[in-house]
Amino acid sequence: MSTTVTPDATMQDTPLVVGGQTFRSRLLVGTGKYRSNAEMLAAITASGAEVVTVAVRRVDLDRSKEEGVLHHLDPKRFFLLANTAGCYTADEAIRYARLAREAGFNEFIKLEVIGDKETLLPDTDGLLAATRTLAREGFQVMAYTNDDLIMALRLEEAGAAAVMPLASPIGSGLGLLNPYSIRTIKRRLRVPVLVDAGVGTASDACVTMEQGVDGILMNTAIAEASHPATMAAAMRHAVAAGRLAYLAGRMPRREVAVPSSPTTGMAG
Amino acid sequence: MSQLRLVVNGDPRSVPAPATVAGLLAHLGLDARMVVVEVNREIIRRPRHQEVTLRDGDTVELVHFVGGG
């Protein structure tokens, strides 16, 4: 995939690369919570995302066999990133990751080990253990974690292909609660840092990308919008705008005003 | 014809014996390319579907990808 040319010809962005795989979009989207499959497909198309997340669940033997997401999403068109959502222990997450890999698409796993039902915050002990095991088994682990630098560093050391700190809790739409933490994690890690969870609207996505992170993964902000495809388009622009603003380098913050017009040459 | 009593996705289910994994999927009308199979917690890879024979009392999990974040 070629690099994206920004308006300033001297400034070329590099593509997002995770685990040796190059992706054309820095926006990754989930496939859950849509009111219909048609709405999901329209939104994902409008988002411009290449990576779409999916969950592993039992086939419902008493219902239509058309319920699997692959009946609606062409795996040749999208990069399927399976998650371990709903897993509360390292062992359970490892089992789900192995099941997901067996589906035969890729070695990537969005690893979640949830520690608490109310907040869905990660169990970082379990996450670290599962990351270590799965990385050894050849998985490209994208680890969903807290906005905690030390844990992010440990996940990287454990072999994570990408670290995915939250902006705020899953499905909360509270936006980026701690820009400093996210910025620091990005500055200190060598592997890609993608913010996962918490973005509520386009401005949240833009501010998040302005911190310099490599990408954002979101689901609810698009799926629960009144018009998901429209919000997806807004997110696409917001992620691109935030990325460009980061690359452009923002002006310094000042406590006093500095005039934009000449202070000399005023008519007497 | 004798029946195998299995637990499939948490529910008791009887299928005609003998049955392989491939046979079970066919019996349930499932496309093997869309399903991942675990028998007694062991993943049965697709190339082995024809050769793995189910036994009475086996616990089978059939999973696939659904929408998720």
Average pLDDT per 10 consecutive residues for chain A, totaling 268 residues: 55 90 97 94 97 95 74 92 97 97 94 96 98 98 98 98 97 96 98 97 98 98 98 98 96 94 92
Average pLDDT over residues B36-47: 96
Closest CA of chain A from B64, distance in Å: 6
Q: pTM of the entire structure? A: 0.91
A76 is known as an active-site residue: no
Closest CA of chain A from B35, distance in Å: 7
Domain ranges within chain A, ordered by starting residue:
4-57+70-248
Q: Supply the pLDDT for residue A4.
A: 56
Q: For domain A4-57+70-248, give the CATH number.
A: 3.20.20.70
Compare CB distances from A219 to B13, B63, B69 and report the shortest one's residue. B69
Instruction: In whole angstroms, give the CA distance from residue B63 to residue A96.
Output: 10
Compare CB distances from A30 to B28, B63, B68 and report the shortest one's residue. B68
Cross-chain residue pair B62–A83, CB shorter than 8 Å: no
Q: Supply the pLDDT for residue A2.
A: 45
Average pLDDT over residues B38-66: 95
Q: Are strands B3-8 and B11-16 parallel, antiparallel or unpaired?
A: antiparallel
Residues of B in contact with A40 (CB under 8 A): 67
Q: Supply the pLDDT for residue B1.
A: 62
Q: Which candidate in A40, A47, A53, A59 is best for mutational testing of the B interface (most B CBs within 10 A)?
A: A59
Residue linked to tokens 């796993």: A109
Establish if B7 touches chain A: CB-CB under 8 angstroms.
no
From A33, A65, A110, A186, active-site residue: A110
SS (H, E, C) chain A: CCCEECCCCCCEECCEEECCEEECCCEEEECCCCCCHHHHHHHHHHHCCCEEEEEEEECCCCCCHHHCHHHCCCCCCCEEEEECCCCCCHHHHHHHHHHHHHCCCCCEEEECCECCCCCCCECHHHHHHHHHHHHHCCCEEEEEECCCHHHHHHHHHCCCCEEEECCCCCCCCCCCCCHHHHHHHHHHCCCCEEEECCCCCHHHHHHHHHCCCCEEEECHHHHCCCCHHHHHHHHHHHHHHHHHHHHHCCCCCCCCCCCCCCCCCCCC
8 Å CB contact between A229 and A54 = no
Instruction: In whole angstroms, give the CA distance from residue A229 to residue A49.
Output: 12
Q: Are strands A27-30 and A215-218 parallel, antiparallel or unpaired?
A: parallel
State ipTM.
0.93
Question: Residue A30 phi/psi, 5° resolution?
Answer: -85, 170
Q: Superfamily for B3-63?
A: Beta-grasp domain (3.10.20.30)
Q: Supply the pLDDT for residue A5.
A: 53
pLDDT per position as a tens digit, A22-56: 999 999 999 999 999 999 999 999 999 999 999 99
Cross-chain residue pair A58–B35, CB shorter than 8 Å: no
